[in-house]
Amino acid sequence: MRVWLHKLNSNLHHFMAVPAILLFGLFFLYPLTQGVGISLTDSNGMTDASFVGLQNFKDFFHDDRARSDVMITVYFALGSAPLLNLFGLLYALFLDRKLAGRGFIRAAVYLPAVISPLIMGYIWYFILQPGRGYWAHVLQELGLERFDGNWLGESSSALVVLIVVNVWQYVGMTMIVYLAGLQGIPADLYEAGRIDGAGRWASLRYITLPLLYPSIKINVVTNIIGSLSVFEIIVALTDGGPGYATESLSIYILRMLYGSFTGYSTAVALILFVMILIPVALFLRFTRKSEYEL
C-alpha cells in the first residue's frame, strides 16, 4: 500500500501539469502553427488563399518602409528598455528607505501604469499641443516660450517624446518589481557588510545588485518585449507620423492587415516574434552564465 501511494505521489506532479500544457497548446502553439501556415499564403482574409512559400518574407526584406519600421522599433527599444530599468531601480532604491509619505510617492509613481496607454497617449497629446497645450501655457508663464515647439510634428523629436512618455508611464511597474526584490534581501547581509567596512557603493555592488538578479531578469525581459511590441502610445501621440517617422512594426502589421494583406501581415508578425525572441534568449543565456559565476 505504501509503495502504491509513493508511486501515486511521484506521478501526481505530472498530472497537475496537464491543464497548463493544454492551455499553452491552445493559446500559443495552435495560433503559432496557424500563423505559420497563413504566412506562406497570399491570403487577404476573405477569398481563398494560394500557397506562395516564402514570398511574403522576401517582400518584407525588399520593402524600404518595412526596413525603416524595423529600425524605428529597435531605436525605441534601445531608448526605452534601459531607461525603464535605470529609473525603476533608482526609484526603488530611493523609496525602499523610511521616508515620510513613502506610500503616497509609490502610488503616484505606479498610478500611470494602470491607465490605458491609449488614454495616456491622448492626454499627453493634448498636453504637448504647440501654442495651446498645457505645457505651452506653463512655458509662457515662465517666460520660456522659445522652448515651445511642435515636438510631435518633427521627425527629429517625435521618437524621443514617445520614449520619454513611455518611460514615464511604465517606470512604476519596473519600480514595484525592484522594490519586491529589495525587500527580500536580508538586513543581516548589509549589517555584516558594514562590519567588514563596506560603504554604500560597495554594498550596492556586492550585495544589492547580485541579489536583485531575479528582479533584473524579470524587468529586462518584460521591458524588451513591451518596447519591441510598442503600439498604443504611438497610435495616440503620432499615429506613426510625421510620415512614417515613428511607425513601429506593430503598427505596420495592423495597416497591412487592414489593407487585406493578411498573409503578408502574418509573416511580418512572425518576424517581429523572432525579433523579440532573439534578445530575450540572449539575455537569459547571459544572465544564467553570470549567476553561475557569482
Angle between helices 262-293 and 30-39 (to 10 degrees): 130
Sequence ranges of the domains in the chain: 63-293
Selection from 247, 181, 167 nearest residue 210 by Cα: 181
**pLDDT (0 to 100) of residue 137:** 85
Task: Please report where in the chains the cell 521618437 appears, as a residue.
Answer: 159
In sequence order, the β-bridge partners of residue 51 are 41
pLDDT digits (tens, 9 = 90+) for 139-168: 888 887 777 788 888 888 999 999 999 999
**pLDDT (0 to 100) of residue 289:** 58
**pLDDT above 70 for 106:** yes
Q: Considering the domain 63-293 in this protein, what is its CATH number?
A: 1.10.3720.10
> Contact at 8 Å (CB) between 177 and 219?
yes
**pLDDT (0 to 100) of residue 5:** 52
pLDDT digits (tens, 9 = 90+) for 8-40: 566 666 677 788 888 988 888 898 899 999 999
Report the C-alpha gap between 146 and 136 in whole angstroms. Answer: 10
DSSP label at residue 153: G
**pLDDT above 90 for 268:** yes
Most trustworthy range by pLDDT among 60-69, 117-126, 282-291: 60-69
pLDDT digits (tens, 9 = 90+) for 1-10: 555 555 556 6
Selection from 255, 245, 231, 263 nearest residue 58 by Cα: 263
The mean-pLDDT minimum among 16-20, 45-49, 102-106, 288-292 falls in 288-292
**pLDDT (0 to 100) of residue 292:** 45
Mean pLDDT of the chain: 88
Q: What confidence category does residue 216 fall into, taking pLDDT thresholds of 50, 70 and 90? A: very high
**pLDDT (0 to 100) of residue 9:** 60
